[in-house]
Amino acid sequence: MAQYDKRHGGAYDRGSADSYYYRAFAPHYYTGGTGMSRRVEQAEMTAKEIAAYTAGFEENEELGHFKDYS
């Protein structure tokens, strides 16, 4: 099983957060904290970074851990 850097703002974290908030699958990450640093878009990401984003997104989808807006 692959190990991913789960730091806040990282690719895995952003994938997980996008799923949690019902956002579309759109690989990206931040070089530092979320919203406090440069956002790196999919076109600039490595295959490993995209895999980390995908893993975070898919893991949250499987867990069914979503924001309750009610």
State the residue for tokens 């952003």.
Answer: 14
Query: Which pLDDT does position 28 carry in this prediction?
Result: 98
CA–CA–CA angle 67, 68, 70 (5° rounding): 150
Query: Which pLDDT does position 2 carry in this prediction?
Result: 84
Residue 4 has pLDDT above 80, yes or no: yes
Could you tell me where the beta strands, DSSP code E, fall in the chain? 28-30, 39-41
Residue 1 has pLDDT above 80, yes or no: no
Residue 37 has pLDDT above 90, yes or no: yes
pLDDT band, very low/low/confident/very high, at 15 (cuts 50, 70, 90) = very high
Report pTM.
0.95
Q: What is the mean pLDDT of residues 54-66?
A: 98
